[in-house]
Structure 1
Amino acid sequence: MIKTPLRILLVEDNEADVLITRRNLQKLIENPTIEVVEDLSSCKQKLINFIPDLVISDYNLPTCTGLEVMQLVQARSPGLPFIFLTGTVHDEELAANTILAGASGFILKKHMSQLEEKLKPLLNKVVFMMSEKQDVRERLRQNKIAINQIYDYLDNLKADNKEQKENINKIKGTIRDINLWKNGDDSEA
């Protein structure tokens, strides 16, 4: 059993699959925190305020595709592990393409009875990549939440004129530069 507490964002619209996935994750992880959403807007809000360690997403959702979810995740949190868990993709080429597009893993729902076995190596990889101590990870998470909320606020701010728009972009640039300097890269922006 994985002792490291993991924060998991599950993007899934089928309640039965949510229950099965949640149960299997709880078998593998001692105290997981699992948030469930089923659309891009809710996913974006969780990326801003929840800051998951891992995203698991269905491929076909009512209002979007799993690829759109993955693109959103990659744009908001580059390098965040992303696993597809889907029943509608039977094409091996498409599965390979999702991995090439940046997914960390791909599990077909027809293997739900073996989900625990299939998820275990992927989760172990996530934990291995999270080598920072818990308190450092939590401080980074809180800083990232604050930065994401500032970006979200600035994105939603209605700029009435060109000067205001330029000032907003300068503020964003300054925040990005400070974040790059503090972290040595842009993976936390």
Structure 2
Amino acid sequence: MIEKTLKVLMLEDLDTDRELIKRSVLKMIPNAIFIMASSKAEFEEKIKWGNPDLILADHNIPGYNGLEALLLVREKISHVPFIFVTGSLNDEERVAETILNGASGYILKNNLNALPAKILEVMGDAESRFQKRQDEVNKLRRKQILIQKLQALVTNAPEFEQKQEALEILEEITDITGII
């Protein structure tokens, strides 16, 4: 169960399906805030201001399809997990196409009991990717600081002791970056 509040953007045109999906989501995310879209225009507008943590989308919306929605999301907010919740992704080629285009997963509407587990899986994957990016950013910051310190030491180093410190910093940079 995910205790923190998450914003869930749902692209679904049928009220009954929307309610069933909502109930299923609340089993895993009891504090979920839902942002609803039932058309291309609504979805595109809510992508701009909604700042969702998770997107659930039907594959077939009148005048729009889930693949277009997925491509828009990957262009605008690529880090957000995107799950298809649809009744029509039983064609293996379309399933492969959606995954290759960046969907985090898919659930068939006749199997909504699998949605909570899929949400937990994709949110865990997203958290791992976020942590990995943060670690890389922190390493880069540390490297930049060390390089600046090294430049200052080498520039102003009349004595052997300071040059030794510069070599130690260079060694630390090598440890961080893996570059020799």
User: Which TM-score applies when normalising by structure 1?
Assistant: 0.63
The correspondence of residues 29-108 of structure 1 with structure 2, limited to 5 A, is 29-108=29-108
Give 1 or 2 for the bigger CA radius of gyration. Answer: 2
Q: Which amino acid aligns with 1:13?
A: D
Runs (5+) with no aligned partner, structure 1:
133-189
Aligned match of 1:111: 111
User: Percent of counterpart pairs with the same letter?
Assistant: 34
The worse-fitting range, judged by mean Cα deviation, of 107-116 and 38-47 is 107-116
Give the CA deviation at 1:118. 3.7
Give the CA deviation at 1:52. 0.5
53 and 117 in structure 1: CA distance in 2 versus 1, 3 angstrom threshold? closer
Counterparts of 2:129 and 2:28, CA distance in 1 = 17
Counterparts of 1:80 and 1:41, CA distance in 2 = 19
Aligned length: 133
Q: Which amino acid aligns with 2:35?
A: E
SS at match of 2:114: helix
SS at match of 1:114: helix
Aligned match of 2:27: 27
Aligned match of 1:182: none
Counterparts of 1:79 and 1:119, CA distance in 2 = 15
Give the CA deviation at 1:62. 0.9
Matched-pair contact (CA < 8 Å) for 1:54–1:126: no
Counterparts of 1:49 and 1:41, CA distance in 2 = 13
The worse-fitting range, judged by mean Cα deviation, of 8-17 and 116-125 is 116-125
Counterparts of 2:116 and 2:79, CA distance in 1 = 23
Matched-pair contact (CA < 8 Å) for 1:4–1:127: no
Counterparts of 1:46 and 1:124, CA distance in 2 = 24
